[in-house]
Structure 1
């Protein structure tokens, strides 16, 4: 059965999705306010399991595209959301039965909720990344054979276009990235049109529901003055994200962040409060990609590397990182659907130009504990 999202549930979901967004996906606060406005106006957001839809129902995933830093400087209005979906419906000659996130992180967990409220469309409790990634071809949909094209792209200024790169999802990303830059660095998209049967086969299930539970666990831990990281680990236990662990606690002592070709790129350095010589460096491209402690890899994409406020457990996105922040670096293992050879070819370390191989975070932690 579907769930109508409450204001409290929305706030929990936004915070939990920012945790799963591993530093990226855009600022959830901006998107949350857009959805809150819809709920306060009497509209509803209904989140459903994909099993509620017939096999042939059309699903149009929706998102925003661009560098997260742009969304902070120029918050989206939410108007291009509807234009993008309507353009793709017109191109396909079909009407969408539902929308869903392409990624479960930050702002992009909110945009399908906004679209659902605006149009009365249900939102499927699943996504195509199980976290956030910076490029459109980095989807479980793509890994398991779904073309991203045709896709639609729209701006807040009324620009609308259709991109059809046929089966070439990498070219689709490149074309859309150029258009996003021309649209001011941020754009609304609908891509990977597919039927519900294909969503069931290719999506990471239950991520919106999990995000809401994570946000609720952190909120309740703060209210009880409990350890938020213990609450987060307990919430992840028994889910498809089975391993959660603290990697490092420290203070931000250096931040190098640039907006380049539509991405926020750079690295952040943290120093331990107990031993300033003990340092962790996290490299990011919109999202955190690899964490190295004293030069040794302790977590690497596609596993999740989360920067969380040490006192509250609140997620801190890449565009919000700042000198002097006291952060806890927390790692989460990805679901098995994201660890297959085909998945790693699409969004493993080599896809980002990293020279290190993928080693699951729980195995890296075991090696560290064993002193090897």
Structure 2
């Protein structure tokens, strides 16, 4: 995510304050540009050894399939450039102000403990416009690599006001579904974020470890992901979850689906 910023700075080029997700998804075709009919290719791929390739594919899903196979052959890490488009398409389908929002969230994390009249947790949730899902200690992490993805589940035992309850979060590179006891509280495409319970710094799925205390926070996704086309691309059923999508704010108010 930082490479475009570095490239723009080095080349002296303007950087568009937008992206195609507004969050993170594990597959290349999972961008708003796909809904706009933009082709992921021609796509350039290069690894740190100097190997490079140009892809031209018939669908964006095929771009994902072929590029991931090459990426694994290159050691699991490459840089890519893809989704060439004109400004009008970017304006229509891009998730705007995402770099600015990231900066503001970073600033909020740094200043959250100095906000008067609020606890750090209250200040963080207000800054992030987030929904408190659960606070707990990690008691189990299950991981497996399957099809070049990191699949797994993290189990949290409640602490503080959540003591006596248990949460489970399923992930595929990114968090997909959060469940507290027997109730689903959030699913993709809304964001399920785990942050350190004291510093509020994000904890990624590869950094999950036993004993760490985390706060699970839900953030509303970009509105386009809630459309029929968006849910077909990144909804819970695409990832094999047996539940329909219910917006995060509705689940927070008591709406729930089958578990």
| TM-score range for the pair, normalised by the shorter chain length | over 0.9
Q: CA deviation at 1:232?
A: 3.2
Query: Counterpart in 1 of 2:244?
Result: 357
CA distance in 2, matches of 1:232, 1:126: 23
The count of residues paired between Structure 1 and Structure 2 equals 254
Contact 1:218–1:231 under 8 Å retained in 2:
no
CA distance in 2, matches of 1:334, 1:247: 15
CA distance in 1, matches of 2:250, 2:28: 29
Query: Counterpart in 1 of 2:141?
Result: 255
Contact 1:181–1:261 under 8 Å retained in 2:
no
Query: Counterpart in 1 of 2:67?
Result: 176
Output the aligned Cα RMSD.
Answer: 1.8
Q: CA deviation at 1:214?
A: 1.1
Q: CA deviation at 1:367?
A: 0.8
Cα gap change, 1:313 to 1:121, in 2 (>3 Å): same
- Report the TM-score, using the length of structure 1 for normalisation: 0.65
Cα gap change, 1:329 to 1:236, in 2 (>3 Å): closer
CA distance in 2, matches of 1:325, 1:125: 34
Contact 1:180–1:262 under 8 Å retained in 2:
no
Unaligned runs of 5+ in 2: none
Contact 1:269–1:281 under 8 Å retained in 2:
yes
Residue among 200, 206, 216 paired with 2:107: 216
Q: CA deviation at 1:292?
A: 0.9
Cα gap change, 1:195 to 1:317, in 2 (>3 Å): same
CA distance in 2, matches of 1:306, 1:270: 14
Query: Counterpart in 1 of 2:213?
Result: 326
CA deviation digits over 1:237-294, x for unaligned, max 9? 5xxxxxx211101100000123333222111000112576511100011100000111
Query: What SS class does the counterpart of residue 254 from structure 2 fall into?
Result: helix
Q: Mapping of 1:38-57 within 5 angstroms?
A: none
Contact 1:349–1:358 under 8 Å retained in 2:
yes
Q: Mapping of 1:137-176 within 5 angstroms?
A: 137-166=29-58, 168-176=59-67
Q: CA deviation at 1:231?
A: 2.6
CA distance in 2, matches of 1:261, 1:117: 36
CA distance in 1, matches of 2:121, 2:51: 44
Cα gap change, 1:232 to 1:335, in 2 (>3 Å): farther
* 2:51 is the alignment partner of 1:134: no
- Report the TM-score, using the length of structure 2 for normalisation: 0.93
Cα gap change, 1:227 to 1:126, in 2 (>3 Å): farther
CA deviation digits over 1:333-358, x for unaligned, max 9? 11212211111111111221111110
Contact 2:125–2:132 under 8 Å retained in 1:
no
CA distance in 2, matches of 1:180, 1:158: 13
Query: Counterpart in 1 of 2:192?
Result: 305
